[in-house]
Amino acid sequence: MSETDVRVLGIEGTAWAASAAVYDSATDTVEIETEAYLPDSGGLHPREAAEHMAEHLPEVIERIIEDAREEYGEEPFDCVAFSRGPGLGPCLRLVGTSARAVAQRFDVPLVGVNHMVAHLEIGRHFAGFDAPVCLNASGANAHLLGYRAGRYRVLGETMDTGVGNSLDKFTRYVGWSHPGGPKVEEAAKDGEYIDLPYVVKGMDFSFSGIMSAAKQEYDDGTPVEDICCGLQETIFAMLTEVSERALALTGSEELVLGGGVGQNDRLREMLASMCDQRGAEFFAPENRFLRDNAGMIAVLGAKMYDAGQTIPIAESGIDSDFRPDQVEVTWRPPETTVRREREEFVQGAESAVTIADETVEKHRHRREYRHPELDERLRRERTRQEARLLHEARREGVPTPLIRDVDTGEMRLTLQRVGERDLQDGLTADRVGTVAEQLAALHDAGVVHGDPTPRNVRVGDRPFLIDFGLGYYSDDPEDHAMDLHVLLGSLAGIDDNVDRLRTAVIDAYRASGDEAVLDQLREIEGRGRYQ
């Protein structure tokens, strides 16, 4: 059967939303019924969420079935799609049981959908994009997904809490009711920007420090409206910066937004501004598709059904830790993104680079999406830090470009041109092993590169580390391990067979660096929920 003829019943219930939907691909229309769980106080309570799901999921399913029968007759569906994970186990089990019951009732096959991939695919579907990067910004999650060789890869993610949960923690602290995100958005309209911690590590990021600082500001008597303004400007700038880094790494010129926090007007404004400034396209679905909903489950279910990705009843168990990169993407072509040529001019994630015969001029232009005070601070700090760390790295014997000129007023560095191409255009196990050895030398000297992705390594007769703008001084194994984590995560986003490269990185670092850093790397990778 062609996808244009498919009608799918979708069922969602990973945490907050007891939701059912019908997608008719012939008309590309979606009808959704949802009963959202709203706690009386605090954040999500797993037991209460499961009770809500048990009470409301059967009724929303029956309502959507009744509507579908009126529209399409007694056999309204070709299949049943359900959210298989990730999510809360008790909620997901109710979803799985309901889906199996409906599939047997109508004698139609089952499709198990990854909730996070559905957030991406609903945006790709309605945007008509080919190979977008997706920023998922929801309560429990915040991460970037990109497509590579038949899988969606996690390019970057929060290293502690989800973006929505972070905002909720602050609003609970000040005594506001759930949900906190809309209240922060409203209060920020009357606030003045204040500086708060800004933590980006490659394409990963952390919210714990900014939350602690925001609570301290409140205790110190700073107006809550100003804190909310600072929270939004800082957190959303972090998400926008890592989104731009993901675009730069993959060569994609398309960005889609998913997740409930994506309903925030300021976040959408920042992402749209960033994409406009770099000549990329941005798409945010309707709000009903940003919140957890069965519509996105049904739409992706139709694509998977058409590709033959149904599952037997006996194999339809849920998976609370279902990772996006576990999903075999058979419903779209396996081609990878075609990258633009990088010869005389390169638009990176935070810098424009002009390349001459012997020199490279790196100019940190103003990022229009960021608040002017935050933008000025970051560009100045990063320009100065990069100059210092380039010098420090060379002193430790790590190949880096020579500095020809530093202009902190114009946020400009003039550097020696090194290498013939970026590492990502010439990946070999030997080269990434050498990069790991160079990182070990830096770490031994108490230097963290901060963003050692294959775009920040130039290769020729040897690898050269470049772009120390996110670098800093630290002797902490956690910070050193984050360097390796960023390198390995970026390799997974651009290479079809990353296992050989990972082995080369680990073996080379073990031979040259501190084993405690590798122990910490394993801890970090276990901490990440979607790695």
Which sequence positions are flagged as catalytic?
451
The answer to whether residues 257 and 271 touch, using CB atoms and an 8 Å cutoff, is yes
The answer to whether residues 481 and 518 touch, using CB atoms and an 8 Å cutoff, is yes
Cβ neighbours of 273 (radius 10 Å): 16
For the record, the structure tokens of 366 come out as: 């103003």
Rounded to whole angstroms, the Cα distance separating 219 from 206 reads 22
Query: What are residue 458's DSSP bridge partners?
Result: 422, 464
**How many Å from the N-terminal Cα to the C-terminal Cα in the chain?**
35
39-100-300 Cα angle (round to 5) = 75
Rounded to whole angstroms, the Cα distance separating 40 from 30 reads 31
Greatest CA separation for the chain: 76
The answer to whether residues 80 and 108 touch, using CB atoms and an 8 Å cutoff, is yes
For the record, the structure tokens of 310 come out as: 């149904």
Q: How many angstroms from the chain centroid is the CA of residue 20? A: 26
Rounded to whole angstroms, the Cα distance separating 146 from 160 reads 21
Strands 254-258 and 281-283: parallel
Closest by CA to 236, choosing from 360, 52, 139, 371, is 371
Give, as one character, the DSSP assignment of residue 154: E
Which residue is it, tokens 């700038």? Answer: 237
Alpha-carbon distances, residue 425 vs 21, 149, 266, 457 (angstroms):
44, 16, 36, 10
The answer to whether residues 386 and 414 touch, using CB atoms and an 8 Å cutoff, is no
Rounded to whole angstroms, the Cα distance separating 252 from 240 reads 15
For the record, the structure tokens of 518 come out as: 């590798």
Closest by CA to 115, choosing from 140, 82, 144, 146, is 82
For the record, the structure tokens of 91 come out as: 């909620």
- Which alpha helices (H) appear in 251-293, and where do they start and end? 265-278, 287-290
For the record, the structure tokens of 208 come out as: 């714990």
